[in-house]
């Protein structure tokens, strides 16, 4: 006996029904249980940022940042909170060296360290090395030797170069240092190795090297 036309199920109808059933089963059940205006539970609510009052000495002056986000980098603290914008944010991944500053006499990438980690430290930025009216020897050498083009990397280059000569004078060895028992000479090879973490996308490396060597010879 033939079924009425309205009750006939074709193969196409069966396939569509199967796909719909599978899709419905894949939807989490809690989607249907929640209403658009349901309150967010404590487990899923966004957490508040943890803050800390930070104090350190920057370029010879005691500076404080109240309620600083513990996730804030030293670079952002200098640029955004203290308005010391000489240190540049280049890659923000510690690969270009544009944010180089000196902390307790050692050069670091300010984008790779948290401000909260430097409570009580002494920090020197490009602003602390010299002023337009009274530049440091390294700043003067960079100007005289055209050790820059666009200038974006220059603050980090100068901070790093200043620290490099201090490292050599203190006999801190590098990867290319041959004799670890005596004084280290500021050769071109030594300077290039130590400055390799500071990238100049304009390619002013020859002039940067000349500037550093000039300062090194004058200090000898």
Q: What is the CATH number of the domain that holds 213?
A: 1.10.150.120
Which of 119, 9, 23 has the alpha carbon at shortest distance from 63?
119
Final residue in a domain of this structure, among 100, 129, 158: 129
What tokens were used for 23? 């899709």
CA distances from 80 to 67, 70, 75, 219 (A): 14, 15, 8, 35
Cβ proximity of 159 and 105 under 8 Å: no
Query: Which secondary-structure segment (H or E) carries 82?
Result: none
Task: Determine the average pLDDT of the residues in 150-155.
Answer: 97
Final residue in a domain of this structure, among 129, 150, 175: 129
178 in the same domain as 102? no
Is 12 part of any domain? no
Question: For residues 72 and 61, what is the distance between their CA atoms, to the nearest angstrom?
Answer: 21
pLDDT at 60: 97
60-98: per-residue pLDDT in tens?
999 999 999 999 999 999 999 999 999 999 999 999 999
Read off the pLDDT band of 219 (50, 70, 90): confident
Predicted model pTM: 0.78
CA distances from 175 to 168, 195, 196 (A): 12, 12, 11
Read off the pLDDT band of 32 (50, 70, 90): very low
Final residue in a domain of this structure, among 86, 110, 129: 129
Read off the pLDDT band of 49 (50, 70, 90): confident
* Upper half-sphere CA count for residue 22 (Cβ side, 13 Å): 6
Is 78 part of any domain? yes
167-184: per-residue pLDDT in tens?
999 999 999 999 998 999
Is 15 part of any domain? no
Is 92 part of any domain? yes
Q: How many domains does the chain have?
A: 2
The residues, any chain, with a CB within 8 Å of residue 40's CB and separated by 6 or more, are none
218 in the same domain as 144? yes
216 in the same domain as 139? yes
By residue range, what is the domain housing residue 93?
A: 49-129
176 in the same domain as 150? yes
What tokens were used for 132? 């337009």
211 in the same domain as 161? yes
């Amino acid at each position: 006996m033939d079924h009425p036309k309205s009750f006939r199920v074709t193969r196409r109808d069966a396939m569509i029904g199967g796909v719909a059933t599978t899709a419905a089963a894949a939807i989490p059940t809690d989607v249907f249980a929640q209403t658009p205006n349901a309150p967010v539970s404590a487990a899923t609510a966004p957490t508040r940022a943890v803050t800390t009052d930070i104090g350190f000495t920057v370029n010879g002056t005691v500076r404080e940042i109240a309620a600083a986000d513990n996730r804030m980098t030293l670079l952002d603290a200098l640029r955004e909170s203290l308005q010391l914008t000489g240190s540049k944010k280049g890659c923000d991944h510690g690969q270009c060296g544009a944010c180089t500053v000196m902390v307790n006499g050692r050069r670091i990438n300010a984008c790779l360290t948290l401000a909260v980690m430097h409570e009580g430290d002494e920090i020197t930025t490009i602003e602390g090395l010299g002023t337009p009216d009274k530049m440091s020897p390294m700043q003067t050498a960079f100007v005289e030797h055209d050790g820059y083009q666009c200038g974006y990397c220059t603050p980090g280059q100068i901070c790093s170069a200043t620290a490099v000569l201090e490292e050599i004078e203190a006999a801190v060895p590098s990867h290319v240092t041959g004799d670890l028992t005596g004084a280290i000479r500021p050769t071109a090879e030594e300077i290039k190795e130590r400055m390799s973490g500071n990238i100049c996308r304009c390619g002013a490396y020859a002039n940067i090297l000349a500037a550093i060597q000039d300062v090194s010879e004058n200090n000898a």
